[in-house]
Structure 1
Amino acid sequence: MTDRRLFTRKLDLARGAVDMSHGSGGKAMAQLVRELFAAAFANPLLDQGNDQAAFDPPAGRMVVTTDGFVVSPLFFPGGDIGSLAVHGTVNDVAMAGAVPLYLTAGFILEEGFPLADLKRLVESMAHAAREAGVSIVTGDTKVVERGKGDGVFITTTGIGVVPPGVAPSGERARPGDAILVSGTMGDHGVAIMSTRENLSFETDIRSDSVALHGLVAGMVAAVPDVHVLRDPTRGGLATTLNEIAHQSGVGMLLREAAIPLKAEVAAACELLGLDPLYVANEGKLIAICAAEDADRLLAAMRAHPLGAEAAIIGTVIEDSHRFVQMETRFGGKRIVDWLSGEQLPRIC
């Protein structure tokens, strides 16, 4: 990386702040990169110090995804924008049944943002990447004037490789298939909104933000022909199922009583006027598989700590209108439509 002899004094990571020179491409930027980002994310590809990472492509079908993170607040119960950036990107790769390998990261910093907070976010991101077994191999940093950003925005790219015989995709849901979820819905969105509104509950509500690739690996080992995998982030369970229904040209019938939901999340949603089916998740997945594989897939999910509360919540049905319907707890049926408007802005 950059020659350390260029610098006579280290960054003041305890009391310093981002300034415009940190995005100038000069000495100040090189110092920020070397002492903060490169130190935290160190790995052989990043340590080459180039503007790109060069590596031999892995054997097999590759998956590439990109994402952006603007969550507010930056720090929340159960995570922060740094760890969320890793988890969200890893999960997008994993929903193709892929093994995540590499990430890239771009940081848009606002002038005046405390370096202590930036260090905390970067170290959280590095820890999340190590836990997920991925390397952050290249990146970029830009600085915008005070008042023209909101502390930190992060953009990412994720790269992974799909094992042979695994091909989940949104257009593969078929009538008769079972619909499963890996756990309780709405935890992340409610944690964010509770923090914004300074709400407190008897039980702390924490984001479910976590990398799901380990859970997915166990699932595809048990049932390689999983038809669909998807993480229900923005728009929640309801919107994600509508997306899949439209991709596959099918309908869906859910059972409200079967959908896992924490009591405290349900109470918070009632207080905030939210429908938990539309609230974002960052550590849960939807799986759709052939009916004959459902029990085996459910057992594999429940065998993993991140799928302990997994449940079969419904069935794919024939429906030319591609409606998602739900049998309510009272015995009726209702349409579960796409999210209309913005229920929870800046949730991820």
Structure 2
Amino acid sequence: MTTAQRLVITAWSAVSPYGIGRKSFVDGVVTGAPTVTELDQERWQGPSGRGCLVPGFEIREVLGAKGTRKMDRVTALVVSTVGQLLADGGIGTGEDTALVLGSTMGSAQSIMDFTKDVLVRELPYLVDPAKMPNSVMNCAAGACAIWHGLKGPNTTLAGGQAAGLMALDYARRLLIHDRAAKVLVGAAEEYSAERAWLDRHSWPAETPDRVLGEGCAVLLVETADRALPASGRAPLAEVLATESRVYLEGDPSKVLVACVRSVLARAGVEADEVWAAVPSSVGDRGRDEREVVRSLFGSEVVDRVPTGDVLGDTGAASAALRIAAVLSVAEHSPEAAGKVALVTSADRYGTVACSLLRLA
């Protein structure tokens, strides 16, 4: 890859169970603060009384009353996170700014609410038309583009827990083919009773020790030739390589190992050069993924960055939040400069992905 095509992360922000904004996330990662809370069962009528929710995230209080009357929670998480990122960095938007958002299915609550209306209203077509846009998977990305004036390509990828890494690779293609000058790359997942019940019935064996979480992380990704000279934004990390694969049987271990080795080879990096490896660690699949990565790099490397289990199962947002965790640790670790970090993800529905970063 030429210098002009090298991808760099120049800014980021997050809304998570640690709080709203980048600083809250960095502080939470560094201190390891717990995020599990007891849920108000009158409001969150799910199968579990616990969750990892963004504290104080009431849509109208965070974003104001204008334009939020029918806004669902996942859209609000994305709009808020992108707004934090743009404001923190003084970043302008327009036709050269793209958005690539990873998701599982959009808003499970909005989809199920709209479907319920179709079934229980007096006639099948007597539904609230204002709810219909929220039931479309790309609602959050589209609403965010309108809210913040993002006029470049606008894409939503359904990738489950691997969605954030898949979005990063999609951004690479937009940038190297000059479809955008900068790309906001992120992933989001909301907590709702509907999502919790879907999860309980889809994966009952994993439910007892899993707590669902929510959040959104967004990275600003640019090519190296634009980042510093054109904007003055110093790179935080270079994206060396990203790869995804599918596995057809129940155990993704072999495919995960092959994916990791392939991404290392593509980047010309040896295994002993990896300073931090950050797998998922939520549920049975997460623990299995963690053990596979530990077998490749050792406990010291795997334990260097706190994993997403502190935030609960954040679904599609998990990989993006773990990239944010890498950047948070690097910010407070002078020895991280120039080191390589690996983020992996093995989604339960058959996707494996990994991304390799070189920290600035």
Same fold by TM-score greater than 0.5? no
TM-score (norm 1): 0.30
- Larger relative contact order (CA 8 Å, sep ≥ 6): 2
Structure ranking higher in helix proportion: 2
Which protein is bigger by CA-based radius of gyration? 1
TM-score (norm 2): 0.30
